[in-house]
Amino acid sequence: TIMDHVARFAFKKYEDFRKTLDNFRNYSHDEKKKAYVDVMARLSKDIGQEIKVISYNSTATEYEGLLQIHEIGVVKGFIKQSEDGVKEVNLGDNEINLSGDSRIIFVLPKDSEIVEVEPTPSERKGNILVWNLQGKMKFPKVKYKN
């Protein structure tokens, strides 16, 4: 499973932006990967399912005056598969707080048939599910076949 995260942060003072960007860049790749592995380990414990990080990469750049952090992790064990071939992404009771232009996007394999999705996505375009609700919500649960 490819986990592709983009986060953008605004700062009132340019020097705070520079300091945060420099701090991010001063961490080694191994330190950033370890932090990501630790997050996945906590998630594994929360949901009772082993998630293993295969690879990880991150960048920090300026995007329209904002600090943009882009992380890409390849993980194994994020998707459960039942004997009847139904695949499931379910992070249990974990919640996410969406604000501003935040959104969650699931891109399923092109030939997927959605079996169940909760909560209902804000948008659905074929195999792409988008949630852009504001505030706290349970992380989406998606079951599909392909």
State yes or no: pLDDT of 100 exceeds 90: no
Beta strands in the chain (DSSP E): 2-9, 52-63, 66-76, 80-81, 87-89, 95-98, 104-107, 113-118, 123-125, 128-131, 135-138, 141-145
**pTM attached to this predicted model:** 0.81
Percent of residues, the chain, with pLDDT higher than 90: 84
State yes or no: pLDDT of 134 exceeds 90: no
Instruction: Tell me the pLDDT tens digit for each residue of 83-97.
Output: 999 999 999 888 988
